[in-house]
Amino acid sequence: MTGLRSRAGFSAIVLLALSACQSGGGEPQERDIYRAYAKALESINAKGGISLNMGSAGANQTITFDMRLHAIEKKSCTGKDRVYTCDVTTKVSYPPVNTTIETHDVALVLFDGPGGWRIVE
């Protein structure tokens, strides 16, 4: 009987260890969304930021700015199979154009892949 108990205990430990190592397991947490969105913005900023052509009738001016994420608040997420659409409120600024932090409600599509949660564009 002792051998049977030790095998059952060992099996339980193995199952717990395996479940702790698995990725996924439901919708993204607020910190997951923050990391994914911050990483997406880093990628955009690394490519030179966002450029807007402010031209009008012969006077073209291109303004380039970076996007900075200051905070994110998760409102809700819906989805399944590692793909979720999450409604969030972001606090962002756009230096050097606007250093004031603005609040925006946005819907983000996230995918839980091998590298963690990512924004789907």
Please state whether the predicted TM-score (pTM) of the whole model is above 0.85: no
Q: How confident is the model at residue 55 (pLDDT cuts 50, 70, 90)?
A: low
Domain ranges of the chain: 28-119
pLDDT digits (tens, 9 = 90+) for 20-46: 334 456 999 999 999 999 999 998 888
Report the C-alpha dihedral over residues 63, 66, 70, 73, rounded to 10 degrees.
Answer: 80
